[in-house]
Amino acid sequence: MILHVNSPAGEYPVTIENGALNRAEKLIPTEGKTLIVTDDGVPKEYAEKIAKNRQFSLTIRLPHGEKTKNADSLKLILTRMVESSFTRKDRVVAVGGGVMGDLAGFAASVYMRGIDFYNVPTTFLSMVDSSIGGKTAIDFCGVKNVVGAFWQPKGVIISTETLKSLPARELSAGIAESIKEAVCFDKELFDLIDDKENFDLNAEKIIEKSLKIKKRVVEEDPTEKGLRAVLNFGHTIGHAIESAEGGRLLHGECVAVGMIPFSSPAVRKKLIPLLKKYDLPTETDVKSEKIAELIAHDKKCGAGGTVKAVFSDEIGSFYFKNVTLNDVISLYEERI
């Protein structure tokens, strides 16, 4: 299946296909130079398939995890590109999860004021969420995604067989992002995810439905001026938890916890059992004071400490409400 996403930079294809990596040389141009950015949690064969039959390819393999998404890693990537005389006609390819996509995409956005970027997500989370929409970033001064840019990919290749190599915990963390989209937009998707016994059978359909939601949102609001803020459901508190935990919890696990305070009792009644079904956390022991401190530095926090928060009062719907930082902390403290 191919989805076509419209962006301010033009249309780009999202290929969703079992075995798509085997066609990498047809999906990503082979002429010129290609920098492949991956991590040591990704099987080497994935990058090797992309490097095959290229005029010139260079692979950078970084440590796995959120802590890699920093200025030092960015400097390393840019240094290798300068040393190898990359030009504006060349490209960067991310192979891995959201960390690799964010980091490699941001490097592509700033090198020579922008070169082509291709995203090959290999985790469920990056497939259904971060692979499209053009958000790229690194963490800086202990704050998640505080330095970044919108830089649209030239193409996204989702090779679904890569999910087989994914640890169960990372798979569940990715499913949290699909649950987020289901809670806000699609009861049918929620029920599909709830049918865990048939998850393997339904996985590709869940990915497609999740991406169609994301596609609709980012096409209507490419730079997060309105509707796109709905994708922050669970992230206001989730990002703060992620920073406070220092990598102990995965991104999707933090989003799982972060959805609960902004859900009505009716939504919680269905949401919490679903999260537990996939072994996702529903609470954390991070102190309120730390949450408040981190949200105050988050890009979602506006003047005077106000936050445009996303709430859900029933499965398949959402609404925005401007709340104060104190309101957010009260919701966090009152969570079930």
Integer-rounded Cα radius of gyration of the chain: 19
Q: Tell me if residue 228 is catalytic.
A: yes
Please answer whether residues 73 and 136 qualify as being in contact, where contact means their C-beta atoms are separated by less than 8 angstroms: no
The upper half-sphere exposure of residue 81, i.e. CA atoms within 13 Å in the direction of its Cβ, equals 28
The answer to whether residue 83 is catalytic is: no
Instruction: Exactly one of 69, 228, 242, 245 is catalytic; name it.
Output: 228
- Decide if 297 is catalytic: no
Catalytic residue among 245, 251, 253, 268: 251
The verdict on whether 4 is a catalytic residue reads no
Catalytic residue (choose from 113, 197, 198, 289): 113
CA angle in degrees (0–180, nearest 5) for 143-149-154: 135
- To the query of whether residue 239 is one of the catalytic residues in this protein, the response is yes
* Catalytic site includes residue 333: no
Catalytic residue among 49, 69, 144, 177: 177
Instruction: Pick the catalytic residue from 33, 49, 54, 214.
Output: 214
User: Is 135 a residue of the active site?
Assistant: yes
Which residue among 33, 54, 91, 235 is the active-site one?
235
For the chain, what is the HEC assignment? CEEEEEECCEEEEEEEECCHHHHHHHHCCCCCEEEEEEECCCCHHHHHHHHCCCCEEEEEEECCCHHHCCHHHHHHHHHHHHHCCCCCCCEEEEEECHHHHHHHHHHHHHHHHCCEEEEEECCHHHHHHHCCCCEEEEEECCEEEEEEEECCCCEEEEEHHHHHHCCHHHHHHHHHHHHHHHHHHCHHHHHHHHCHHHHHHHHHHHHHHHHHHHHHHHHHCCCCCCHHHHHHCCHHHHHHHHHHHCCCCCHHHHHHHHHHHHECHHHHHHHHHHHHHCCCCCCCCCCHHHHHHHHHCCCCECHHHEEEEEEECCCCCCEEEEEEHHHHHHHHHHCC
From the candidates 49, 54, 91, 135, which is the catalytic residue? 135
- Options 66, 170, 224, 245, the catalytic residue: 224
113 is catalytic: yes
Active-site entry in 239, 242, 245, 253: 239
**Catalytic hit among 54, 180, 209, 232:** 232
β-strand 306-311 against 319-324: which pairing, if any? antiparallel
Q: What is the set of active-site residues?
A: 113, 135, 177, 214, 224, 228, 232, 235, 239, 251
